[in-house]
Amino acid sequence: MTSIQSTLGEGDEGIAEELAKGQREISIAEFFEKNKHMLGFDSGARGLVTAVKEAVDNALDATEEAGILPDIYVEIREVDDYLRLVVEDNGPGITKEQVPKVFGKLLYGSRFHAREQSRGQQGIGISAAVLYSQLTSGKPAKITSRTQGKPEAQYFELIIDTDTNEPEIKESRETSWDRSHGTRIELEMEANMRARGQLHDYIRHTAVVNPHARIELREPGLEEPMKYERATDQLPDPTEEIRPHPHGVELGTLRKMLAATESYSASGFLQEEFTRVGKKTADKVIDNFRDRHFGRELSWTPPQAHDGVDLTSVVEGAVANKGASATADFARRVSDVLSNRERVAHHEVREVVATCADEVEADSGTRFGPTVRENTVEALWAAVTGPGEEDGDDVEDDAGYGRLTADLYAVVDGVTSTRKDDATKQGMAERLARNVSGLDDGRHRLTHRALADLVNGAADDTVEYDEVTFGETARENVIEALWSSARTVPDDPPKVKEIVDDRDCARALLEAMRETDILAPPTTCLSPISADLIEAGLREVFDADFYAAATRDAEVHAGDPFVVEAGIAYGGDLASEGSVDLLRFANRVPLVYQQGACAITGVVKNIGWRNYGLDQPGGSGIPNGPAVIAVHVASTNVPFTSESKDAVANVPAIEDEVELAIREAARELKSYLNRRRSMQKRRKKQEVLGKILPEMADKLSEVTGRERPNIDGALARIMNNVSVERVVEGDTVTLVVENYSGRSEQPEITDILAAEPSGVNGDAQVVDLDGEWFVKWSPSVPAGETAELSYTLPADTDFDIAVDGVEAEKLTINT
Give the pLDDT confidence score for residue 399 in this predicted structure: 46
Prediction pTM value: 0.67
pLDDT at position 76: 93
Q: What is the pLDDT of residue 636?
A: 87
Residues of the chain with pLDDT under 50: 1, 3-4, 8, 110-112, 121-123, 389-399
Which residues are annotated as part of the binding site?
Answer: 58, 89, 110-111, 120-127, 645
The burial class, CB within 10 Å (0-12 / 13-18 / 19+), for 765 is exposed
Domain ranges of the chain: 28-228, 246-294+491-515, 303-385, 387-488, 545-675, 714-814
Could you give the 3-state DSSP secondary structure of residue 447? coil
- Give the list of residues 6+ apart from residue 185 with CB closer than 8 angstroms, or none: 55, 85, 86, 87, 103, 126, 141, 142, 143
**Collapsing DSSP states into helix, strand and coil, what is residue 70?**
coil
- Asked if domains 28-228 and 545-675 share a fold, the reply is no
Instruction: Write the CB contacts of 17 (distance below 8 Å, at least 6 apart in sequence).
Output: none
Strand, coil or helix: what is 630?
Answer: strand
Q: For residue 281, give the 3-state DSSP assignment.
A: helix
How far is CA 690 from each of CA 9, 611, 685, 697, 714, rounded to the nearest angstrom?
A: 103, 34, 8, 11, 10
Q: Is the distance from CB of 109 to CB of 126 less than 8 angstroms?
A: no
Strands 71-79 and 214-218: parallel
Q: Which of 73, 83, 70 is nearest to 196 (CA)?
A: 83
Instruction: State the CB neighbour count (10 A cutoff) for residue 568.
Output: 28
Cβ contact 560:610 at 8 Å: no
Residues 6+ apart with CB under 8 A from 462: 424, 427, 428, 431, 468, 470
Q: How far apart are CA 557 and CA 522, in angstroms?
A: 13
Kindly give the pairing relationship between strand 765-769 and strand 799-804: unpaired
**How does pLDDT run across 208-267, given as a tens digit for each residue?**
889 999 999 999 888 889 999 998 998 888 888 888 889 888 899 899 999 999 999 999
The one-letter amino acid code at 470 reads: F
pLDDT on residue 629: 96
Smallest CA-to-CA distance from 637 within 61, 371, 191, 244 is with: 244
Q: Which of 645, 675, 625 is nearest to 585 (CA)?
A: 645
Say what the pLDDT of residue 20 is.
60
What distance lies between CA 194 and its chain's CA centroid?
A: 36
Give the CA distances from residue 382 to residues 403, 729, 748, 775, in Å, rounded to whole numbers and listed in that order: 10, 110, 89, 98
DSSP helix/strand/coil, 217: strand
- Helix (H) / strand (E) element for 629: namely strand 627-635
Please tell me the predicted confidence (pLDDT) of residue 329: 95
Report the length, in residues, of the chain: 815
DSSP label at residue 519: P
Contact predicate 713/725, CB 8 Å:
yes
> What residues contact 379, with CB distance under 8 A and at least 6 apart?
314, 315, 317, 318
Note whether 525 and 116 are within 8 A (CB).
Answer: yes
| 247 closest CA partner among 550, 492, 495, 558 | 558
Q: In 3D, which of 152, 26, 167 has the Cα closest to residue 102?
A: 167
Handedness of CA 496, 499, 505, 509 (dihedral sign): positive
Q: CA-to-CA distance for 768 and 709, rounded, in angstroms?
A: 40
Tell which CATH architecture fits domain 246-294+491-515: Orthogonal Bundle (1.10)
CATH class, 28-228 region: alpha beta
Binding-site positions for ATP: 58, 89, 110-111, 120-127, 645
> How far does CA 739 lie from the centroid of its chain?
48
Closest listed residue to residue 299, CA positions, set 335, 341, 337: 341
pLDDT tens per residue across span 365-379: 999 999 999 999 999
Give pLDDT, residue 390. Answer: 44
Q: Are 300 and 501 in contact (CB under 8 A)?
A: no
pLDDT at residue 34, rounded to an integer: 63
Q: What is the CATH number of domain 545-675?
A: 3.30.230.10
Domain 714-814 has what CATH class?
A: mainly beta
